[in-house]
């Protein structure tokens, strides 16, 4: 764990592909619980116009042996600021990268995107069914009505 971004100065990665995403051991691997990260100011670029796109991302996961380290997650998500991709691509790519790194019991990602061309595009991705008896709160982002 000496190569973690945690506890040292780190620059904003140039792209999501260049971003280091760290994991740390889960102190309760025998317990199903939900961990949530909310990124209310997520930004990427439209791959056609180069204009910024904005979203609220809500990441819910049930850890297995690993937790995502929050500083590396923050830098990874910020690396999308200069990344051109459609809403669907950004949302699904983040979910797949986290699932691959963490090997969680379950993970879902809600991408609540602000309108582009007058139409909001919300994107949802998950690894499968959540564990039985898991308390699964609503993600707390209302359907678009002038967010």
Average pLDDT for 84-99: 97
Residue 138: inside a domain: no
The CATH number of the domain holding residue 71 is 3.30.1130.10
Q: What is the mean pLDDT of residues 88-92?
A: 98
Pick out the residues of the known binding site for substrate.
68-70, 87-88
List the binding residues: 68-70, 87-88
d(CA 121, CA 142): 13
What's the 3-state SS for 35-52? EEEEEEEEEEECCCCCCE
The number of distinct structural domains making up the chain is 1
Predicted local confidence at residue 117, as pLDDT: 82
Please indicate, yes or no, if residue 50 is contained in any of the structural domains: yes
Reported pTM: 0.94
For 4-16, the pLDDT digits (tens) are: 898 889 999 999 9
Taking 90 as the threshold, does the pLDDT of residue 1 lie above it? no
Residue 83 belongs to what domain range?
34-126
Q: What is the pLDDT of residues 114-145, one digit of tens each?
A: 998 888 899 999 999 999 999 999 999 987 77
Q: Is the pLDDT of residue 67 over 90?
A: yes
Query: In the chain, where do the E strands start and end?
Result: 23-25, 35-45, 52-62, 66-68, 106-113, 122-126
User: What mean pLDDT do residues 71-85 have?
Assistant: 97
Q: pLDDT tens digits, residue range 10-63?
A: 999 999 999 999 999 999 999 999 999 999 999 999 999 999 999 999 999 999
Residue 146 has pLDDT above 70, yes or no: no
Work out the number of other CB atoms within 10 angstroms of the CB of residue 92. Answer: 17
Q: Is residue 27 part of a domain?
A: no
> pLDDT band at 2, cuts 50/70/90?
low
The answer to whether residue 134 sits within a structural domain is no
Q: Which residues are catalytic?
A: 46, 53
Q: How many CB atoms lie within 10 A of CB 100?
A: 9
């Amino acid at each position: 764990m000496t190569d973690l971004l945690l506890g040292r100065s780190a620059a904003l990665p140039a792209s999501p592909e260049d971003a280091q995403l760290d994991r740390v051991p889960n102190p309760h691997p025998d317990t199903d619980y939900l961990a949530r990260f909310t990124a209310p100011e997520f930004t990427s670029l439209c791959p056609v116009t180069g204009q910024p796109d904005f979203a609220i991302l809500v990441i819910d996961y049930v850890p297995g042996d690993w937790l995502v380290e929050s500083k590396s997650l923050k830098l990874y998500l910020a690396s999308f600021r200069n990344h051109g991709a459609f809403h669907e691509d950004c949302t699904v790519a983040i979910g797949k990268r986290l699932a691959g790194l963490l090997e969680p019991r379950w993970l879902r990602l809600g991408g609540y995107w602000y309108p582009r061309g007058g139409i909001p595009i919300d994107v949802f991705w998950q690894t499968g069914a959540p564990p039985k008896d898991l308390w699964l709160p609503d993600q707390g982002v209302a359907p678009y009505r002038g967010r």
